[in-house]
Amino acid sequence: MKRFAAIVAGLALAVSVTPAHADTGVQQVLDQYLAQAGPGAAVHTNSGTYSTGTGKIHEQRRITAADHFRIGSQTKTFTASVVLQLVDEGRVELDAPINRYLPGVVNGNYDGAVITVRQLLQHTSGLVRDVRDAQPNPDGTYPLAELVRSAMDEPAQNAPGAAQNYSNVGFLVLGLLIERLTGTPAGDAITARIIRPLGLTETSFPAPGNRALRTPFLNGYLGGRLGPVFFWTEATTSVELSAWSTAGAMESTLDDIGRFYRALAAGQVVSPSSLAEMRRTYGPSEGYGYGLALVRMPLSCGVVAWGHNGALTTGHYSFTLTTDDGRFAAVVTNTNWQGSGKPSAVDVADKAICSAAPQR
């Protein structure tokens, strides 16, 4: 992550935009969430898009469902979906060791003959959380294989299967798995297998070296807030995205990301048996849980939602949840910093979903 180039101070613009015929309670919770969020925040729901604050500092710019932003770890659900498609095709077994498909890749402080594909997907492999010392190409981009290689001398977080500890490195290994079995770059496989078939025209996997977001885009900021005063520096294009690859590099919009999770829940992405595997959470079956790149989130109205969150040092944080009856909420704010107070992004999504009528 690049250091702050400058510190920008200003006054937050408390601009609220509520869609016609929408629930004002959703807007109220979103407005309150702004104290924990960036200069602006928005939630896209079945009833429309609610926005508060601003998408760009020193302007009154509403965040829309068409604004592009970095979805961070929501990329993991796309990566996992391709792996589960390969399971459906009989090319991968979830409980097979990763060495069967990538011999010698998981080595050093880790045993690829023990760590399984499932454990990589559910963050129980024990692989280190983040890449620390990968060597970039001369142009500053990072090969996926180098990212993985550089992490193999890091200490394990846990023995394989013994605990659940989040690992971006695990999803980089899964990117290599996709490349080995499809014969194409992982981003191309995600595009061909998910983005194009679902018609997600505003979603993309960036080419190495391409840091730009398509227009319109949501400016991203790093910094903090003290009451009505914020201190932000723009970070929209500050990250070399190949360093995150299949763990967190993708771009989307609130509209597209909501359609992706609804399609996944509706059985349009993987088979029913593979979706059930994605939803089989580690540990207790009741309450919050993490499966194969899907979060289980019980809501205040008694329904269960599924989805994922994502944060990146481009200054974007997002969380998308959907239910089996067709309700959804896609939340975004233009900073990756999240306060510890209430309401949270989850509270915003909860209010939006529970205020909507079942859709099917």
Angstrom distances, CA of residue 90 to CA of 77, 173, 181, 187, 247: 20, 19, 11, 21, 24
Angstrom distances, CA of residue 34 to CA of 13, 15, 39, 91, 311: 10, 11, 7, 45, 16
CB under 8 Å to 227, separation ≥6 — which residues? none
pLDDT at position 284? 66
73 part of the active site: yes
Residue 14 pLDDT > 70, yes or no? no
What's the CA gap between 92 and 98, in Å, rounded? 10
Residue 70 pairs in a beta bridge with 251
User: Pick from 218, 279, 290, 206: which is nearest to 254 by CA?
Assistant: 218
Domains and CATH numbers, the chain: 8-72+216-272+304-354 (3.40.710.10), 74-195 (3.40.710.10)
Q: Supply the pTM of this predicted model.
A: 0.94
What's the CA gap between 133 and 155, in Å, rounded? 14
What's the CA gap between 40 and 53, in Å, rounded? 4
For residue range 16-51, what is the model confidence (pLDDT) as tens digits?
666 655 678 999 999 999 998 999 999 999 999 999
Pick the catalytic residue from 16, 47, 51, 73. Answer: 73
Structure tokens at 194: 């998910």
C-beta neighbour count of 360 within 10 angstroms: 9
What's the CA gap between 108 and 316, in Å, rounded? 34
**Amino acid code (one letter) for 106:** V
For residue range 147-194, what is the model confidence (pLDDT) as tens digits?
999 999 999 999 999 999 999 999 999 999 999 999 999 999 999 999
Location of structure tokens 């289980």: 296
CA 20 and chain centroid, separation: 29
Residue 128 pLDDT > 70, yes or no? yes
C-beta neighbour count of 32 within 10 angstroms: 16
Residue 45 pairs in a beta bridge with 48, 329
Residue 16 pairs in a beta bridge with 52
Question: How much of the chain, in percent, has pLDDT values that exceed 90?
Answer: 86
128 compared with 10, residue with greater pLDDT = 128
